[in-house]
Chains A and B, each alone.
Chain A
């Protein structure tokens, strides 16, 4: 039982929020561990550690991934974005973050970072989605506070704002 693991480390080089970074990591680490422990990206939350809640979601090469079930070594060569990376140089909120604030889409705040990053992937597609499509695209995140209602509205409003179209009435 106590047979120790063969310690292995690997140096990974990747882009974190646009910055070229390098770190030698324990191969056993998840991407959540790497981002939280080595880069202080504490917006990456741990809610289940098995890919069922979406709190640890980050963008890897533009797509949403649960970083808890993604090995840290796989980050090598990737472009990784976290919620911290959405802020402007002086801490300004991006439009989607501001929409979460304005629409009262935040309560306890624990699912918020993951949701916002999925929203970023949706918004950056430049497409117009129906409510049902948005619900599906955001369905990989669990929230216990909001009933999802205002989260959906925040994403939808930002989508229409970016598309330069008025938001249709419910």
Chain B
């Protein structure tokens, strides 16, 4: 039995927006794997909840008219992993969210919830950052879109405005086309864990597969929110593929990241793992893209 003050159930997006407006203090609950845990711990005890779990319209993956990938915010991790469009265009995201918790958590956890709670360790977040995802939000004034980088304000806080709910996550065609990525979750065990560090790299090679046309890398837990390593990207973009490039790229991430010391891991440890993970994820991405290393 959860210590909640009241629960409101939204049957549609419009319903959810109306409930959000009527109960501005209420917490949105999607799958509940974070919100209910916090409520039990006393952090959100006694609060009102708005459940959006029943809005089936927010489930599923599709291509829009411009062939952008559109992931409904309530799509569960397991459904993302199994989705044919994800497997075809953005397999790295499917692989990343297939490392969240365990199977039952992947059945209840949603990508919308994963991004809206604003934590840096979310397994989807680094890949979404690396693909420059666009967040779709629906509120009293209609739909607005915002780059994921701007959506994350600070640790635990995202740009979810009064009356709004997140309705989809979009990956622009230009972002995923001819692009191959790899995610490394560094954790203390092989399942049921949160990331000590999450590293997501993707590359698009030149037609001859000899050079990096575009390289992007984002980390989780390398700072208070997921972040891109731009100096490292710049060090790789346009360069000829080589083992030395992988090393240079990897070492350069230290210019971009700012992990903290915590009881879960030291700053030095996370920095060390970030370099090694960046190198390995880069090498694997190049290999997936058909490059030779």
Instruction: Provide the residues of chain A in CB contact with B190, threshold 8 Å.
Output: 139
Checking A26, A51, A57, A139 against B37 with a beta-carbon cut-off of 8 angstroms, the contacting residue is A51
Q: Tell me the bound Cα distance from A57 to B32 in angstroms.
A: 15
**A30-B2, A64-B103, A71-B51 given as contacts; is B191 within 8 A of A140 (CB)?**
yes
- Cβ contact within 8 Å between A28 and B40: no
Check if B25 is an interface residue, CB within 8 A of chain A: no
- Cβ contact within 8 Å between B108 and A70: yes
Instruction: Provide the residues of chain B in CB contact with A54, threshold 8 Å.
Output: 102, 104
Q: Tell me the bound Cα distance from A27 to B29 in angstroms.
A: 13
Q: Tell me the bound Cα distance from A74 to B108 in angstroms.
A: 12
Apart from the given pairs A52-B192, A71-B53, 4 other A-B contacts in the complex at a CB distance below 8 Å? A50-B37, A51-B37, A54-B104, A71-B29
Instruction: Provide the residues of chain B in CB contact with A26, threshold 8 Å.
Output: 1
How many residues on chain B are close to A (CB under 8 Å)? 29
- Cβ contact within 8 Å between B2 and A63: no
Chain B positions 241 through 284: 1 when the CB is less than 8 Å from some CB of chain A, otherwise 0: 00000000000000000000000000000000000000000000
Instruction: Provide the residues of chain B in CB contact with A57, threshold 8 Å.
Output: 104
- Cβ contact within 8 Å between A69 and B103: no
Chain A, Cβ-Cβ closest to B79: A63
CB distance from B48 to the nearest CB of A (A): 9
- Cβ contact within 8 Å between B6 and A5: yes
Chain A positions 69 through 108: 1 when the CB is less than 8 Å from some CB of chain B, otherwise 0: 1110110000000000000000000000000000000000
CB distance from B97 to the nearest CB of A (A): 14
Chain B positions 23 through 50: 1 when the CB is less than 8 Å from some CB of chain A, otherwise 0: 0000001001100110010000010000
Checking B37, B51, B102, B103 against A73 with a beta-carbon cut-off of 8 angstroms, the contacting residue is B51
Chain B positions 181 through 196: 1 when the CB is less than 8 Å from some CB of chain A, otherwise 0: 0000000001110000
In the assembled complex, 14 residue pairs joining A and B whose CB atoms fall closer than 8 Å, in A order, are A5-B4, A6-B5, A6-B6, A8-B7, A29-B2, A51-B33, A65-B107, A66-B104, A70-B108, A74-B51, A74-B53, A137-B103, A139-B192, A140-B104
